[in-house]
Amino acid sequence: MAAKPKTPPPVDLLTRSQARVEHKRLSLEIETHNERYYQKDAPTISDSAYDALRQRLEAIEARFPDFVTARSPTQTVGAAPARGFAKVQHAVPMLSLGNAFSDEEVAEFVERIRRFLKLAPDEFPAIVAEPKIDGLSLSLRYERGELVRTATRGDGFTGEDVTANVRTIKDVPQTLTGRNIPAACELRGEVYMLKQDFLALNKKQQEAGDTVFANPRNSAAGSLRQKDVAVTASRPLKFFAYAWGEMTDRPADTQHGMLEWLRGIGFVVNPLIELCHSVEEVLAFYRRIGEQRVTLGYDIDGVVYKVNRLDWQERLGFVSRSPRWAIAHKFAAEQAITILKGIDIQVGRTGALTPVARLEPVTVGGVVVQNATLHNEDYIRGIGNDGQPIRDGVDLRVGDTVVVQRAGDVIPQVVSVVIDKRPTSAKRYAFPHKCPICGSHAVREEGEAVRRCTGALICPAQAVERLKHFVSRLAFDIDGLGEKQIQEFYDDGLIMHPVDIFTLQKRDARATKKLRDREGYGEVSVRNLFAAISARRKIELNRLIFALGIRHVGEGNAKLLARHYGSIENFRSTMAEAAAAQTEAGNDSEAYADLNNIGGIGDIVADAVVEFFAETRNVKALNDLLAEIEVLPVAQARSDSAVAGKTVVFTGSLEKFTRDEAKASAERMGAKTSSSVSKKTDLVVAGPGAGSKLKDAEKFGVKVISEDEWLQLIEG
Ligand SMILES: NC(=O)c1ccc[n+]([C@@H]2O[C@H](COP(=O)([O-])OP(=O)(O)OC[C@H]3O[C@@H](n4cnc5c(N)ncnc54)[C@H](O)[C@@H]3O)[C@@H](O)[C@H]2O)c1
Ligand SMILES: [Zn+2]
């Protein structure tokens, strides 16, 4: 059973040495969360839980100020730039903001400013109130009005170079327009994603088995910080400008004036921003924005107050990690407590199994919530893929009392378990290893969080997607039978399985409601469709293998398999042999070893192929299909080469080519490759450092050649 999270004693009661220990532990814990949040865009605790850790650390440091070091999370910003990005030094640091959680703290903030500036009792420092956009901040450097470099905040001093990525964001002007453009300037603001775009993206990601983001903020950060710019370009990122760093000239004297200027030179500035002249006005703004929050379309996590006069901002300056002239007034997290009544598994269009919590309905921030995402198997188990605990390592059980949160007020999440209320009867949840829709084995690949149904050809949850794939350009590629027609025929029950495509004509002949009477069809188009289908009754083996929709078997792997096995009969029977030997623990059949040994095919692909054949209903669907079509054998690899039909073993550390290339070259020449030397081996190609296999070669009297000799052999 998971350890009960203890309620920590109040900071006031800690002894110095207890406080020292806790200070160290908290610092480490916060650093770990910072890394996950800022570098990996994948936090494992809620923001409010994280803020609670920070607050406790701050309380300890307030009591024992000598614990504070420059490295303490209370003194640092964000996290260092992640590996894989070029680093950019900020000319003016990008800092964080102090927090206020109550009206009193806001009033204190204003008081501190008045004292610091020595204002008269009736003098109020005008304050700009801005929604606090929950995204990630970005610095844009313009020289002579042209965008030259952009960087994330990173640790405040050094950020990640994301210039190419940012160029794909429409809200960021490439060239500044209008008057008063300084020779050089760093303009700053927030990259964010609309809630609806975030939801659509997550849906797509989930179906494809890719990373699912916890909220729009992580989704924006993850989308921006991509090594492949094309990925960023495909993500609907947006940008609000609200700040600046280095400026060779400053075109205005106030925060408000600067925002107007930013709007004038081509930026989007948040339209809700207001200039306030009393604490009451400031707090009224906060409440109004809080009410509008759910309808804004993007996430905000509070309101930021900034002293309007820039000369006063300069006088006020900074304290460690944040300016003295600004503060973030945070919204309280929207949480509620309810009962986890059940866990349902949904199957996505590509076979991903996703757990969903069924909750006793509860109102969270004004909205009734009865379902919440549970992300994946690990999230329920309370232990991440990396072995790190989630929610302090507490697993979720049906019957548990749980805290539900509307993360960034979009998708409700189960964030924690009230462990004291766990009924004694509550059992650990066993994530199904079978698809709840079709009953096929559901497998989880190493390093993956998602478990997937292997019933590629027979799972109703995946059927439409599979059929669309089946007729796609690199598969059967049937004229007049595209995605749209597949969907329609599927909806009408005319094409449910691949084989149905080839029996369509026969069935239509007997049917009372004919295809030619369908909307958009006529005598001619139906005849053309049948002709196109018939033309595909003869299909190349690689196209067929690709069409099956086996996970990881794209066009390239389909070719490798087709070339290796030569005919559908050989492929099918060898895979049947491998499938019969498939167990959770592994596969020791010769058929599997042979498959795994094909150059370019590794464990993951081999397992996916074998899992497909292990599902007998897939095999049946394939056999049904084969009764209707003729699969052309692959033009055999060169049979005239010096090594055709021979079995070759590569050993040692190859220097002239990779092992995959070596294997592929052998197969191209009609040779087979093997990983161990036996009586059946004809040739051993040895690179430097070859060991036991050389001895084996000697023992069996097998010829040994060098890499160069191999190259001569296959080129000659
Ligand atoms: N869940 C976790 O594991 C985890 C880990 C680290 C941080 N966090 C969360 O991240 C936040 C702390 O991050 P932080 O240090 O960036 O501080 P912050 O988000 O509280 O405040 C600073 C940031 O506010 C943003 N901002 C948005 N609108 C702004 C505006 N109009 N003017 C000025 N700034 C504006 C800027 O990006 C700026 O960098 C907290 O909400 C915390 O809960 C969570
Ligand atoms: Zn299924």
pLDDT in tens, 219-229: 999 999 998 99
Look at ligand 1, atom 40, and give the residue with the nearest C-alpha.
47
* Residue 185 assigned to a binding site: no
Q: Is the CB of 34 under 6 A from ligand 1?
A: yes
Calculate how far, in angstroms, residue 620's C-alpha sits from the geometric centre of ligand 2.
Answer: 15
For residue 96 and ligand 1, the question of a CB distance below 6 A is answered with yes
C-beta 33 within 6 A of ligand 1: yes
Please give the number of the atom of ligand 1 that sits closest to the Cα of 136.
Answer: 37
Question: Among 305-319, 410-424, 626-640, which is the least confidently predicted range?
Answer: 626-640
Neighbours of 246 (CB within 10 A): 14
49 annotated ligand-binding residue:
yes
What is the value of pTM for the model shown?
Answer: 0.60
Ligand 1 close to Cβ of residue 327 (< 6 A)? no
- Which tokens is 438 given? 């079709």
The response to whether 360 counts as a known ligand-binding position is no
Provide, rounded to the nearest whole percent, the portion of the chain with pLDDT above 90. Answer: 65
**For ligand 1, atom 34: residue with the closest CA:** 132
Please work out whether the CB of residue 417 comes within 6 Å of at least one atom of ligand 1.
no
Q: What's residue 3's pLDDT?
A: 42
What's the average model confidence in pLDDT over 367-371? Answer: 81
**540-632: CATH homologous superfamily?**
5' to 3' exonuclease, C-terminal subdomain (1.10.150.20)
Best probe residue, ligand 1, of 27, 132, 138 (max atoms within 8 Å of C-beta): 132
Pocket of ligand 1 contains residue 37 by CB under 6 Å: yes
- Render pLDDT for 612-658 as a digit per residue (tens, 0 to 9): 999 999 999 999 999 999 999 886 666 777 888 888 999 988 888 88
Summarize the confidence of residues 171-198 as an average pLDDT.
94
Q: Tell me how far the alpha carbon of residue 299 lies from the centroid of ligand 1, in angstroms.
A: 12
Instruction: Check the annotation: does 27 bind a ligand.
Output: no
Tell me the per-residue pLDDT of 228-247, one tens digit each, with 9 for 90 and over.
999 999 999 999 999 999 99
Q: Which numbered ligand comes closest to the C-alpha of 152?
A: 1
Question: What kind and span of H or E run contains 47?
Answer: helix 47-63
147 Cβ closer than 6 Å to some ligand 1 atom = no
Q: Which ligand is nearest to the CA of 258?
A: 1
CA distance 707 to 716: 14
In the predicted structure, residue 164 carries a pLDDT above the cut 60: yes
460-536 has which CATH code?
A: 1.10.150.20
**DSSP, residue by residue, 290-357:** HHHGGGSSS-EEEEEEEESBHHHHHHH-EETTEETTEEEEEPPP-EEEEEEEEEEEEE-TTSEEEEEE
Q: Would you state the pLDDT for residue 6?
A: 47
pLDDT at 1: 39
Structurally, at CATH architecture level, domain 333-458 sits in Beta Barrel (2.40)
Report the complex ipTM. Answer: 0.95
Choosing from 94, 190, 390 the residue with most ligand 1 atoms within 8 A of its CB, the one to mutate for a pocket test is 190
On whether 47 is known to bind a ligand per the annotation, the reply is yes
The ligand whose atoms approach the alpha carbon of 346 most closely is: 2
pLDDT for the residue 585 = 85
Q: Does domain 647-715 have CATH number 3.40.718.10?
A: no
- The length of the chain in residues reads 716
Note the pLDDT of residue 636: 62
Q: Supply the residue whose CA is at minimum distance from atom 8 of ligand 1.
A: 47
Per-residue model confidence (pLDDT) at position 7: 56
Res 170 pLDDT > 90: yes
Closest by CA position to 259, among listed 278, 273, 239? 273
Q: Which class is 87-330 in CATH?
A: alpha beta
Q: What is the DSSP letter of 139?
A: E
Cα(24) to centroid(ligand 2), Å: 48
* 678 annotated as ligand-binding: no
Determine the atom of ligand 1 nearest the C-alpha atom of 96. Answer: 22
* Higher local confidence (pLDDT), 25 or 661: 25
- Residue type present at position 264: G
Q: Which residues contact 495 (CB under 8 A, 6 or more apart)?
A: 467, 486, 489, 501, 504
State the pLDDT at residue 680.
86
The band of 97, judged by pLDDT with boundaries at 50, 70 and 90, is very high
- Ligand having the closest approach to the CA of 618: 2
Cα 576 from chain centroid?
35
What does the pLDDT look like over 69-95, one tens digit per residue?
888 999 999 998 888 899 999 999 999
Task: Confirm or reject: Cβ of 220 under 6 Å from ligand 1.
Answer: no
Q: Whose CA is nearest to atom 17 of ligand 1?
A: 96
Residue 256 CA to ligand 2 centre (angstroms): 57
3-class DSSP state of 623 = helix
Query: Residue 202: what pLDDT?
Result: 87
> Among residues 87, 132, 204, 227, which one is catalytic?
132
pLDDT at 335: 82
Residue 50 labeled ligand binder: yes
328 Cβ inside 6 Å of ligand 1: yes
User: 579: exposed, middle or buried (C-beta count within 10 Å: 0-12, 13-18, 19+)?
Assistant: buried
> Which of 4-13, 105-114, 544-553, 588-597 is predicted with the least confidence, judged by mean pLDDT?
4-13
Higher-scoring residue by pLDDT: 42, 514: 514
CA distance 710 to 657: 11
The kind and range of the H/E element at 249 are none
412/399 Cα distance (integer angstroms): 18
Q: Could you tell me the distance, in angstroms and rounded to a whole number, from the CA of residue 421 to the centre of ligand 2?
A: 35
Reply yes or no on whether 132 is catalytic. yes
Separation between Cα atoms, residue 522 and residue 510, nearest integer Å: 17
- The answer, yes or no, to whether residue 528 has pLDDT greater than 60, is yes
- 41 touches ligand 1 (CB under 6 Å): no
SS3 readout for 542-605: HHHHHHCCCCCCCHHHHHHHHHHHCCHHHHHHHHHHHHHCCECCECCCHHHHHHHCCCCCCHHH
